[in-house]
Copies of this chain bind each other. A is one copy, B any other.
């Protein structure tokens, strides 16, 4: 047998191996770049990365207001080295520690034990790292976060591998006879491979997991503050609708009493799509400016579907051609958005054709995948960035650049995007996709809170009225209350049996606008995600259960390594500061709800339902189970079909729940512009205090001079007797 390596070479490689082990053990140097945020530079990082692509400055003042944080590791326990032109990182894990994050996963919340290759793509049915926002940031139950700032495809072994020299190395067991044998021996570290000769790493302190999330969110710019109209209700019309048909649809909403704040036009508004011209089709939209005006007068704004792939028949084709990649997507050329020329040519068209006539936002499609649609990794781009780097940041770039168009006009926007990544926290876009599993949609909603992204479990079509109502109930408790009827043409009232219930849900959304709006303001100013996993809620303790199973218990034909079934909570979430939402799915009439510590109360009735326990609820078809924390204050308003305009005053119905006092920070501004960045906003404190006679009394702080005040009448409702 031929020697694969000569003796000399073997001695040399063994020496190199030992040396690299020594280097591997070198400490990484951590620099505190913001309060409780540390950065390390390993090796020689790429010039281009996620934070550079997003290019949003940290909200340092807001970070300073967070609780103080301590570096969460013994620095010597973190390993980093560069070898084989790769960077290998290791972060220790403790025995009961749980980890979350790594982007928009649809089937798992707990990530410990997962192996992911973080790669922007349309989600494909497995939590393997291929997803719309494969954010390389994870959060620990111990209260810290770790972020890998790389625009490469990153391999993550999130507590799945075991090192022979670890002091926590798992014990070898005999599978023949030892019932404790497991196919997943103990792993004490998160190990990460970045295919690059260096990388920037960030660590975010707690003390709680939510604090780490807040710190990360603020460091990446804080959440977006949507316009009020963005938090209303939205319908996307069939892709081949004409302007007349769209107007008719908007009128139908009005006549039937369904709220509608913006309407989405699907690809057919363009003269050609897939690839796109980006100009209005003269046949279907003969006078787009009047069309948009007419809708605006009805209180309805317009959002345009696009994807960035340019048709040969687009007016910008010839000009932009030199600034595009070597490969096409649906025979359209692929703009390299990292170049100034590209930005000018591409977005200039959008300003002329869309913004100048009043378009309010975009739905930017297919910037994620699948691989068979998008450019291959062998594609080359004029900026000389790799196809991989363009893939990982394409969603970030188009969000940033399109949102900037509106900002130039002092206009807020709120739209949809199919890809994002770390750094995009502040971009006013919500992720959606073609998948449709309702349960998984809720899991994604939960996971969005760990990754600084927003997600909508859009409703499109349904097999039954029950399914339709259940989906509508979920969507109105999400960042964007949307029906996407691009193909199905469904309307909220398409299922007559539940038409009234659907209307009630849509109007509930509108009634809750003061609460949602304040919660988004907290996302922006304080980094608190408006939708939160239970695992970020204090007093929630549901450790991931793993029912170990031995060989003789398993069906080894179906499960040859006797893998245990994971148990985790992925079907209930926190909406805003006080609400716990537990969606119902088709076919369910009852479900369990896990209540964190403290008393909880029914949102609809104010009744006490339990505390720190699991309850079973049977809400009926017309209700989605929602519970309120003790002392919770929910500011609501009258049911209206459109969000308040700038300057429009609204009445408040301020609800209080439970047997405990409470406070609530109510946010106010003009709801449409960026004037809040100049300080033109207000926070008013709502207080509910218990009087000597046991009754509750509510108050709201005075409005400061020269601050917005859009509140007219206030009614107090003390829901719990």
Contact = CB atoms under 8 A, between A and B. Distances in A.
B172 A13 contact: no
Interface string A489-521: 000000000000000000000000000000000
A17 B380 CA distance: 8
Contact of A191 (B169, B332, B376): B376
A565 interface: no
A192 B376 CA distance: 9
A259 interface: no
B162 A327 contact: yes
Interface in A363-415: 371-373, 375-384, 386, 400-401, 404
Contacts of A358: none
B560 A434 contact: yes
A324 interface: yes
Given A339-B10, A380-B17, A380-B20, A274 B312 contact: no
A557 to B, nearest CB: 5
Interface string A676-711: 000000000000000000000000000000000000
B17 A378 contact: no
B165 A326 contact: yes
Given A160-B376, A164-B324, A274 B181 contact: yes
Contact of A160 (B84, B372, B379): B372
Contact of A239 (B176, B272, B343, B382): B176
Interface in A470-486: 486
A52 interface: yes
Tell me the dominant secondary structure on chain A's binding face. loop
A7 to B, nearest CB: 8
Contacts of A486: 556
A460 interface: yes
A328 B557 contact: no
Contacts of A17: 380-382, 384
Contacts of A174: 271-274, 311
B377 A10 contact: no
A247 interface: no
Nearest to A20: B380
Given A5-B338, A375-B161, A378-B157, A557 B461 contact: yes
A108 to B, nearest CB: 13
A4 interface: yes
Nearest to A160: B372
Given A88-B378, A327-B163, A557-B487, A183 B4 contact: no
A560 B331 contact: no
A181 B380 CA distance: 26
A420 B332 CA distance: 40
A86 B165 CA distance: 33
Contact of A172 (B2, B48, B330): B330
Contacts of A401: 1
Contact of A328 (B86, B162, B239, B313): B162
Contacts of A173: 274, 331
Interface string A334-370: 0000111001000000000000000000000000000
B272 A5 contact: no
A584 B14 CA distance: 55
A318 to B, nearest CB: 13
A528 interface: no
Contacts of A184: 372
A8 interface: no
A115 B160 CA distance: 27
Contact of A185 (B267, B331, B461): B331
Contact of A376 (B85, B161, B324, B375): B161
Interface string A164-197: 1100011111111000010111000001110100
Interface in A545-593: 556-557, 560-561
A10 B382 CA distance: 9
A3 interface: yes
Given A169-B328, A326-B164, A338-B4, A176 B240 contact: yes
Given A460-B557, A557-B488, A3 B327 contact: no
A268 B178 CA distance: 12
Interface string A435-468: 0100000000000000000000000110000000
B85 A85 contact: yes
A176 B5 contact: no
A33 interface: no
A610 interface: no
A192 B436 contact: no
Nearest to A341: B10
A267 B176 CA distance: 7
A320 to B, nearest CB: 12
Contacts of A239: 176
Contact of A176 (B86, B273, B377, B487): B273
A113 interface: yes
A157 B48 CA distance: 26
Interface in A126-183: 155, 157, 160-165, 169-176, 181, 183
Contacts of A53: 4
A164 B13 contact: no
B172 A275 contact: yes
A376 B333 CA distance: 38
12 contacts: A4-B339, A10-B383, A17-B380, A115-B372, A155-B376, A161-B327, A161-B379, A164-B324, A169-B328, A174-B274, A487-B560, A488-B557
Interface of A: 1-5, 10, 13-14, 16-17, 20-21, 48, 52-53, 55, 83-86, 88, 90, 113, 115, 155, 157, 160-165, 169-176, 181, 183-185, 191-193, 195, 239-240, 267-268, 270-275, 281, 311-313, 322, 324-328, 330-333, 338-340, 343, 371-373, 375-384, 386, 400-401, 404, 434, 436, 460-461, 486-488, 556-557, 560-561
